[in-house]
Amino acid sequence: MSSQRGQTLPSLGGVCALVGENLEPLFECEIVWKGDKIVSIEGKKEGKFEGRVVLPSFVNAHTHIGDSIAKEAYVGLTLEQTVDPHTGLKTKILQSSTKKELVSAMRKALKQCVALGVTHVLDFREGGVEGLKLAKAACEGIGVQLALFGRLSKPPSKQRVLSNECFSEAELEELHKVCEAAHGIGVSGANEYSDRMLEQIREVAKAHGKLVAVHCLESKNTRNRLKQVFGKDEFQRCVAFLKPDIFVHMTCATRKELALASKTATLVCCPRSNAALANGFPPLREVLKHKGALGTDNVMVNSVDMFREMEFAYKILVGLTKKPFDDVKSVLKAATLNARPLLRLKPLCVDGDANFVLLNLKKLKPFWNLHAAIVNRAQEENVEMVVKQGLVVKSLIRQDALTA
């Protein structure tokens, strides 16, 4: 503990801390926080690594916590067979499950998030306003913040989409209620809506000052599905009508598309999900150049483990391009820092938000690269402490031993 003007403040001492936008290590460091803000970080730019490292907590930039009820149900199915909003297996399972079952399954997944050092989750939530209520109930008292991106309880019919109809008055009313109760609107894909509907989604979100996120270019099949109908492909329709703040997946995006999208939006990739659903791999080198973020996607497909997501991302990045890649730090940034601006959160710095993780890497020593050791080797057993908005939500060490 540390004192400031007579106050006893929580602190961590004798650690290495990865600070600022570039995750630069400070050795023999002490971090002091007051409430939800960091008030002091003091350390040395050079020193010996003793084994404990503090880094910004993980931000899981894209999940579907709701399908925690259906783990591994996707096996042997295509993307469309698994998650199509009208006919997919996921939709059928969610509709046939009770509220109690859904909340219980989501709660287990969210507890795992905390155990793994995740303090913030950007979640696409099905089921309209009621779906948002269930997610909030599942999150209560756990120590993780869910930034929910809601949608209509029932998607418009494919015929209405093909006819380029607008939302009905009832749908617009529901969309406004969803937006009021959520962090933003999560669009399953441009192909699920008409051009007019995409424009209306943007207008509703703008009216409430909320974000819009969209699945885009997840597979080769989705790009041109409605191009003959609307004269534009999936990505072009998003840019022209939806104008999203977050592009999720971009598995099949070109360099030009990634550059264009990143000018106004955050890119989020989910490489384990893309691989599991037979959609290939995202262009991660380009995504990381544009400060893209990582997410674990559907819980029915993946665990919420950002350690596994980082390691997989780094190794397929190298394996697919067949070129060495020494900027491992950029992968760690994608899991911790790059989605933070969407939530108005800062990195590990003075006056920054007290959202961080303490890892004990003593069992992993010796290693030559700290950032690479975290990306490639750290796991849940290395997480000793998790602090969210200044509150300790997980701790495996005595509070009086924090500065030892």
Mean of pLDDT over the chain? 94
Q: What are the Cα distances from residue 98, in Å, to 101, 260, 327?
A: 5, 42, 46
Same domain for 305 and 372? no
The verdict on 294 and 149 lying in the same domain is yes
Summarize pLDDT for 251-281 with one digit per residue, the tens.
999 999 999 999 999 999 999 999 999 999 9
Q: In this model, does residue 402 exceed pLDDT 50?
A: no
Same domain, 262 and 291: yes
- State whether 33 and 84 are in the same domain: no
Distance CA 336, CA 140 (A): 23
Burial (CB < 10 A; 0-12, 13-18, 19+), residue 173, is: exposed
Q: Which of 47-51, 95-99, 311-315, 390-394 has the lowest mean pLDDT?
A: 47-51
Position 47 confidence tier, pLDDT thresholds 50, 70, 90: confident
Last residue of a domain, one of 299, 321, 343: 343
| pTM for the predicted model, two decimal places | 0.95
Residues 339 and 352 in one domain: no
Q: Residues 286, 330: one domain?
A: yes
pLDDT tens digits along 355-368: 999 999 999 999 99
Q: Which CATH number belongs to the domain containing residue 237 in this structure?
A: 3.20.20.140
Clarify whether residues 367 and 281 are in a common domain.
no
Q: Are residues 53 and 72 in the same domain?
A: no
Same domain for 235 and 176, yes or no, is: yes
Quick one: average pLDDT of 337-347?
A: 97
Query: DSSP for 2-19?
Result: EEETTEEE-EEEEEEEEE
Instruction: Give the pLDDT confidence of 281-338 residue by residue, as tens digits.
Output: 999 999 999 999 999 999 999 999 999 999 999 999 999 999 999 999 999 999 999 9
Residue 22's CATH number: 2.30.40.10
- DSSP codes of every residue in 380-400: GGGEEEEEETTEEEEESS-GG
CA-based end-to-end distance of the chain: 10
Residues 67, 194, single domain; the answer is yes
Beta-strand (E) ranges in 133-234?
145-150, 184-187, 211-216
pLDDT confidence bin for 399, thresholds 50/70/90:
low
Of 323, 343, 363, the one marking the end of a domain is 343
The domain of 391 spans 2-57+345-401
pLDDT at 403 over 50: no
Q: Which of 325, 343, 361 is the last residue of a domain?
A: 343
pLDDT at 1 (0 to 100)? 52
Please, what's the b/e burial string for 14-50 (b: 16 or more CB within 10 A of its CB; e: otherwise)?
Answer: ebbbbbbeebebbbbbbbbbeeeebbebebeeeeebe
Question: Are 132 and 22 within one domain?
Answer: no
Name residue, tokens 């890892």.
359
Q: What is the mean pLDDT of residues 107-118?
A: 97
Whether 164 and 295 map to the same domain: the answer is yes
Q: What is the mean pLDDT of residues 110-126?
A: 97
Number of domains in the chain: 2
Residue 327 CB burial class (10 angstroms; 0-12, 13-18, ≥19): middle
Residue 61 tokens read as: 């930039």
How do residues 153-200 score in pLDDT, each as one tens digit? 999 999 999 999 999 999 999 999 999 999 999 999 999 999 999 999
Q: Where are the alpha helices (DSSP H) in 54-98?
A: 79-83, 89-96
Q: Is the pLDDT higher at 403 or at 147?
A: 147
